[in-house]
Structure 1
């Protein structure tokens, strides 16, 4: 009887969360259905691209439990949306990378530093160091240091996400995959399905990070 009561108590919460994510899924569907040419940058493309992230920011702000995630995750999502807008125009790439770096700093504020798990940090640092080493010879002049700094921040986010575990860890991994494919596609060699891989992993990662804001509430309910 107790277990049944718990299940019935959780169902409305799960349904409510799913309903609150409908704008995100609808805007993602719009992006992939329109699939506006990346060679024709414009404000319509920028809006369609960042709309799913804006929906996630609203979801995270209205659905989050009390804690660092309630403040930092929506801030990170808004910075990500700004980065999406900048990246529509190739000449604003550096501004886009800076906006995403600030977004990752916000995610670090939400993820916290405990449990520490230094072994994970060593593994992440080795993987990121190897990949950045491959990229460096291919980067345009002046981008070497910014890319290194961005990769260091992203690596810290992946470390903290893996240390936290669960869906957050998957989100951190997907974000790293998205950025790794983006960097390879941009600086080394264009990949035929590159944009599709980048956007599917990117939207999935952001959704999982947004959902991490309700984990504390679910734990308390248990």
Structure 2
């Protein structure tokens, strides 16, 4: 089924809102259906509309979305032993690595002051976040450290596309990367430090926005000719 971009946007918003309502109500058992629907919808949309892209970009993106879907499913089964949390973390780690590869396909020169500043800012943010979390991580210290590096690498490589793609594609994907960091930061703080009111809604809202913006940005990708 082929959806026009505007129609899909409204459908996607509906799915995210439905998942939010289900998650905040006594119908939370239905999240086994509504939460995976978010990534399934993006997979179907990108699968139908991304065939004009480079074949490598197309299949790598489908793979990244698939690993994200796996991560969503694993995190629904999170328990005190943290096994499913680790499985979810690894799934999203693979997704971020794939996004890094996708973004590196359109990398511009990294010998610029603004790229260096962005790199330093993200490193400072990641270091600060890890220091805040470290005392409560226990055996998850190494997996969380690796994951933080991966998501920061994803954000940095998304910025590295700035002079190789059109402004719409760059802005959508870089903004999506920032939303991803916000989502995972809220998730980490809520899990390891203190309860955040409405954390489930804010995590899923920012996460869904991140994935949507990245998918839309890739569909708008139009590399400049040198």
**Is TM > 0.5 for Structure 1 vs Structure 2?**
yes
Residue of 122, 128, 136 corresponding to 1:124:
122
Partner of 1:105: 97
Partner of 2:140: 143
Question: Secondary structure of the residue that 2:209 maps to in structure 1?
Answer: helix
Partner of 2:36: 50
> Which portions of structure 1, spanning 4 or more consecutive aligned residues, are displaced by more than 3 angstroms?
20-23, 36-40
User: Structure 1 residues 119 and 107 mapped into 2: Cα distance closer, same or farther (>3 Å)?
Assistant: same
Partner of 2:188: 183
**1:214 positional shift:** 1.2
**1:38 positional shift:** 9.6
Partner of 1:29: 17
Partners of 1:82 and 1:96 within 8 A in 2: yes
Question: Secondary structure of the residue that 1:125 maps to in structure 2?
Answer: helix
Indicate yes or no: 2:47 matched with 1:61: yes
Partner of 2:77: 89
Question: Secondary structure of the residue that 1:191 maps to in structure 2?
Answer: coil
Residue of 132, 135, 144 corresponding to 1:134:
132
Partners of 1:25 and 1:52 within 8 A in 2: no
Indicate yes or no: 2:210 matched with 1:205: yes
Q: Which runs of 5+ in 2 are unaligned?
A: 162-169
Q: Deviations over 1:27-86 (max 9, x none)?
A: 21221232256996x5x4232112111101111122123224312222111111111111
Partners of 2:130 and 2:145 within 8 A in 1: yes
Which structure dedicates a bigger proportion of its chain to helix?
1
User: Structure 1 residues 150 and 181 mapped into 2: Cα distance closer, same or farther (>3 Å)?
Assistant: same
User: Structure 1 residues 185 and 25 mapped into 2: Cα distance closer, same or farther (>3 Å)?
Assistant: same
C-alpha distance in 1 between matches for 2:98 and 2:53: 16
Partners of 2:53 and 2:219 within 8 A in 1: no
Indicate yes or no: 2:7 matched with 1:19: yes
**1:24 positional shift:** 2.2
Q: Which runs of 5+ in 1 are unaligned?
A: 1-14
Partners of 2:186 and 2:203 within 8 A in 1: yes
C-alpha distance in 2 between matches for 1:136 and 1:57: 35
